[in-house]
Structure 1
Amino acid sequence: MKHNKLKSVKQNMVETLELPKDLMYGDSIVTITGRREVLIENYKGILEYTGEYIKIQTKNAKLTVYGKKLSIEYYTNEDMKVVGFVKSIEYEA
């Protein structure tokens, strides 16, 4: 119960002060450019990597990019760029 109240207080502060939600909650930002590029910011790690799918751990979920000829063009501690023919993106808790 105490955790829910703390979460509610933080949520109210973020909304009242109009703070960036991605920074305050540690959420990932996924930017899709057409069907050829996906930029993922604030990820935790790469779980699986093939030419058909790339599974990534974020703070709150697992994110999988499905497609053909997928590759990671670059990655840093903060972001990564996936290129290839993107078919879909799926989140799982």
Structure 2
Amino acid sequence: MAPAKGESGSGYKGESGHKGESGYIRRRTLRERLGDALDLPPGLTLNLAEINLTGDREVVISNHRGVAHYSPERISVEISGGLVEIYGKELVLRYILRNEIRAEGRIEGLKFITQGKTN
């Protein structure tokens, strides 16, 4: 089958890689392949942050790397590859464990800051 107009047809996507935005194939890491094979969540196998938001009252962040800033209006939590900022009013840290942080208050927003970019 011929490639569609505007496509080169050279972008093979096999089991071992994903075609990225640049068109090149990124080889999947052993952790990614193992996690997929065992049907494990990415947060567990890749040390990615897992964020659970309960309404506008509570946020729990797992796999964090510490607190960078804390005030009643903003909490910044370091994660793999950047920061998560929690904005709101009357924010408090209920607990900080080695692998989990729980913040409560009137949460108005979350912002991800990754490698010099804001998302």
Q: TM-score range by the shorter chain?
A: 0.7 to 0.9
Which letter maps to 2:89?
K
> Normalized against structure 2, the TM-score is what?
0.68
In proportion to residue count, which structure has more strand? 1
Could you say which residue in structure 2 is the equivalent of 1:66?
Answer: 87
Alignment coverage as a number of residue pairs:
88
Q: Which runs of 4+ in 1 moved over 6 A?
A: none
2:101 is the counterpart of 1:80? yes
CA RMSD of aligned residues (A): 1.4
Higher relative contact order (CA 8 A, sep 6+): 1
> Normalized against structure 1, the TM-score is what?
0.86
Which runs of 5 or more structure 2 residues have no equivalent in the other structure? 1-25, 115-119
Could you say which residue in structure 1 is the equivalent of 2:9?
Answer: none
In proportion to residue count, which structure has more helix? 1
Q: Which has the larger radius of gyration?
A: 2
Identity %: 24
Which runs of 5 or more structure 1 residues have no equivalent in the other structure? none
Counterpart pick for 1:43 among 55, 59, 64: 64
How far does residue 80 in structure 1 lie from its aligned partner after superposition?
Answer: 1.2
1:56 and 1:9 mapped to 2: Cα distance? 26
